[in-house]
Amino acid sequence: MRVLVTGASGQLADAVLRAFADCDVIAHPRATLDVTDSDAVGRAVDQAAPALIINCAAFTRVDDAESRPADAFAVNAFAVRTLARAAERRGAALVHYGSDFVFAGLDGPEAEPYDESAAPSPRSVYAASKLVGDWFALDYPRAYVLRVESLFGLPAEWNGRRGSLETIVAGLEAGREVPVFTDRVVSPSYVVDVAAATRHLVDAQAAAGLYHCVNSGRGTWYQVAGEVARLLGMAARLKPITTAETRLAAARPTFSALSNRKLAAAGFEMPAWQDALQRWLAARGSAPRAEAGTAI
Ligand SMILES: NC(=O)c1ccc[n+]([C@@H]2O[C@H](COP(=O)([O-])OP(=O)(O)OC[C@H]3O[C@@H](n4cnc5c(N)ncnc54)[C@H](OP(=O)(O)O)[C@@H]3O)[C@@H](O)[C@H]2O)c1
């Protein structure tokens, strides 16, 4: 199967490229394909003639998006429409990734995880741009949109921008006090598991459409960071903070747990986030010293 991957030097793309390594993959980082250039996208898709396009390109600087809405919408929304049109013209399937930030997420910690029928209510420019991207992709009947959140999975030697979990691990390993939210409930997502779920949906020729795709379960960032420290066998020097105390430009949902039920019904069970954390820490060389989920 010929597969064209956009945004190929990103965090999730790295895992996607591994999951599709046995395919004929044409990987385009931003340097070789700017997805906001519709002519270039058309040419690249015609040249590759892929059976599948996987869009990993995104404007992911959530706070910067507040002052750069046109850039965020160009990449996260209108480029998705361009890719969907190109896929349709070539008869290719399309995979696109959405975000939990499309939900207002103002519910309390006991709320039910959002499923695919939950009404979105974005509270930031990034969130709105991602929602429009979902809609443009879903207009195409052969598109899979996987909504993910709080991605992690970077190798220890990564020099670029880090996600929340990488920042927590780096802080703990350096012996620093790490500030973590006590009022944000998340379902962290290991890029390796998201990429495996993507591969499953494509191989199983599952029904196209929207799928929530996160590691199973939920926890506050404080609980997630505590589990990381426990797995590393380190004393957790965690500083509890709340979203109200921080001066981030973009609003964050305080409750972002997503339900994987639809994905499970399509034949793919996402492992628990604790299990995913343990596998990631082992893969990055931070040998875990405790079993996931067991008390110290
Ligand atoms: N990270 C998370 O916690 C998270 C949470 C929810 C949803 N998501 C979604 O998951 C997907 C993957 O995220 P990620 O964490 O892998 O993001 P990432 O590491 O920031 O990767 C995104 C890639 O897109 C590239 N890109 C940006 N603008 C582009 C353009 N105009 N043309 C082509 N490529 C462009 C970036 O290149 P440069 O590095 O050169 O900018 C980067 O390599 C995205 O759709 C994101 O919205 C992520």
- Whether 126 is a known active-site residue: answer yes
253 phi/psi in degrees, rounded to 5: -70, 140
The answer to whether residues 281 and 155 touch, using CB atoms and an 8 Å cutoff, is: no
122 phi/psi in degrees, rounded to 5: -65, 145
Residue 210: inside a domain: yes
Q: Provide the token pair at 262.
A: 């639809």
Set 114, 126, 144, 222: catalytic member:
126
Residue 173: inside a domain: no
For the question of whether the overall pTM of this predicted structure is more than 0.85, the answer is yes
Q: Which residues contact 151 (CB under 8 A, 6 or more apart)?
A: 11, 12, 163, 188, 189, 190, 191, 194
Residue 291 Cα to ligand 1 middle (Å): 32
Residue 279: inside a domain: no
Q: Which residues contact 278 (CB under 8 A, 6 or more apart)?
A: 231, 288, 291, 292
Helix, strand or coil, per DSSP, at residue 140 = coil
The answer to whether residues 194 and 148 touch, using CB atoms and an 8 Å cutoff, is: yes
Residue 128: inside a domain: yes
Residue 76 Cα to ligand 1 middle (Å): 9
Number of domains in the chain: 1
Residue 235 Cα to ligand 1 middle (Å): 33
Residue 283: inside a domain: no
Atom of ligand 1 lying closest to residue 96 CA: 45
**pLDDT the model gives residue 235:** 85
**pLDDT the model gives residue 120:** 97
Q: Name the H helices within 8-75.
A: 11-19, 38-48, 69-73
Characterise 293 by phi-psi region: left (phi > 0), alpha (psi -120 to 50), beta (else): left
**Ligand 1 pocket, CB under 6 A:** 6-7, 9-13, 30, 34-36, 56-60, 75, 97, 99-100, 130, 148-151, 163
- Please give the residue range of the domain that contains residue 59: 2-157+188-217+257-271
Q: Which residues contact 47 (CB under 8 A, 6 or more apart)?
A: none
Q: What span, in angstroms and rounded, lies between the C-alpha atoms of 236 and 178?
A: 8
Atom of ligand 1 lying closest to residue 61 CA: 20
Tell me how far the alpha carbon of residue 13 is from its chain's centroid: 10
Q: Name the H helices within 54-190.
A: 69-73, 79-90, 125-138, 164-173
Residue 288: inside a domain: no
- Over its length of 296 residues, how does the chain's per-residue pLDDT go in tens digits? 999 999 999 999 999 999 999 999 999 999 999 999 999 999 999 999 999 999 999 999 999 999 999 999 999 999 999 999 999 999 999 999 999 999 998 888 789 999 999 999 999 999 999 999 999 999 999 999 999 999 999 877 777 778 889 999 989 988 899 999 999 999 999 999 999 999 999 999 999 999 999 999 999 999 999 999 999 998 889 999 998 898 899 999 999 999 999 999 999 999 999 999 999 999 988 755 544 443 32
Residue 21 sits in a domain of what CATH number?
Answer: 3.40.50.720
Atom of ligand 1 lying closest to residue 164 CA: 3
**pLDDT the model gives residue 293:** 40
CB atoms within 10 A of CB 124: 22
Residue 78: inside a domain: yes
Residue nearest to atom 38 of ligand 1 (CA): 30
Residue 197: inside a domain: yes
Residue 151 Cα to ligand 1 middle (Å): 11
